Amino acid sequence: MINKKFGRLTVLKELEEKSNSNKVYLCKCECGNEKAIRGDRLKNGNTRSCGCLQKEAAGRRTVHGASSQWWYNRYSQMVQRCHNPKAHGYENYGAAGVYVCNKWINDPWAFGNWLIAEMDNLGLTEKTINGYHVDKDLLGKGYYGPDSCVLMLAQKNSALSATNRMKKCTLKNIETGETVEFKSFSDAAKFLECSNSTVSKYNGKVYLEWSIN
Ligand SMILES: [Zn+2]
C-alpha cells in the first residue's frame, strides 16, 4: 500500500489505530493536506481526496459570470478532460494523471486573466488566438497551472509531444533494482500499461514500483 496512489491521495504509512477492524493509513493529498483514511475506503474508491475534490465541485457551481466569457470553452474543456471520466479525451489526460491546479479549478477567472496576460506577451487578440494551445509539457511539469503552462502554436505543441514519444527511457524497479531499457516512451508506456503522457510526466521520477529515467 505504501506509495500507492488513489485519486489525489498517496499512501504514506500505516497507522497503529484501526477503524472497525479496518487498517488506517496516513495519506498525503495533492493539495498538500495529510489525512488518516481507512484502507477499505481507498481500495473501493470511496475516498479519493482529503475532501478538497468535493469542495472544488461545490465551488465550481457557484462561480458566476465566467461562463459567458469567450475563453470559457477552453477553460471548461481543459477541466473536463482532466477531471470528468466521461469527457472526450479523459483517457489521455485525467486517466493519465494530468490535472488542473486548484487555483484554476476554483476560479475560472484566474485562468482567464492568465490567458489574457499570455496573449498580451505574444501580441495576440481574441481573433488571432485560434491555433494557439495552452501547453503543459514544454516546461516539463505536466499539469495545468499558471507556473506550468505556456501559450503556444498547436503545430509546435504536437511536434514536441512527438519528440517526447520517441525519447529513450530506462525503467528501474525500485524494489529489485532490475532495469529495462526502451527505445521510446511509447514502448515504456506499453510495458507499464499506462499512457505516453504518464511516462513523460513521471520522467525522472517514481511511477508505482518503477522509476522512469
Ligand atoms: Zn486535498
* Cα 192 to averaged position of ligand 1 atoms, centre (Å): 27
**Those residues with Cβ within 8 angstroms of residue 113's Cβ, 6 or more apart along the chain or in another chain:** none
Element (H, E) at 165: helix 154-166
pLDDT for the residue numbered 164: 62
Closest CA to 144 of 107, 106, 105: 105
Q: Name the percent of the chain lying above pLDDT 90.
A: 38
pLDDT tens across 106-154, in order? Answer: 889 999 999 999 898 888 898 889 888 898 877 777 899 998 898 888 7
- Measure the CA–CA gap between 212 and 180, rounded to whole angstroms: 10
Residues whose CB is under 5 A from ligand 1 (ion)? 29, 31, 33, 49-50, 52
pLDDT for the residue numbered 12: 96
Q: Is the pLDDT of residue 157 over 70?
A: no
Q: pTM for this one?
A: 0.48
Neighbour tally for 137: CB within 10 Å: 19
* Cα 51 to averaged position of ligand 1 atoms, centre (Å): 6
- Measure the CA–CA gap between 19 and 32, rounded to whole angstroms: 24
* Cα 35 to averaged position of ligand 1 atoms, centre (Å): 9
Average pLDDT estimate for 64-83: 89
pLDDT for the residue numbered 100: 95
Q: Is the pLDDT of residue 104 over 90?
A: yes
Orientation of helix 72-83 relative to helix 108-122, angle to 10°: 120
H and E: helices and strands count for the chain: 8, 10
* Cα 145 to averaged position of ligand 1 atoms, centre (Å): 16
* Cα 185 to averaged position of ligand 1 atoms, centre (Å): 30
Average pLDDT estimate for 45-53: 88
pLDDT for the residue numbered 210: 72
Average pLDDT estimate for 14-43: 92
pLDDT for the residue numbered 166: 67
pLDDT band at 64 (very low <50, low <70, confident <90, very high): low
Which three-class secondary structure state does DSSP give residue 211? Answer: strand
155 burial (CB, 10 Å; 0-12 / 13-18 / 19+) is exposed
C-alpha cell at 157: 505543441
Neighbour tally for 27: CB within 10 Å: 25
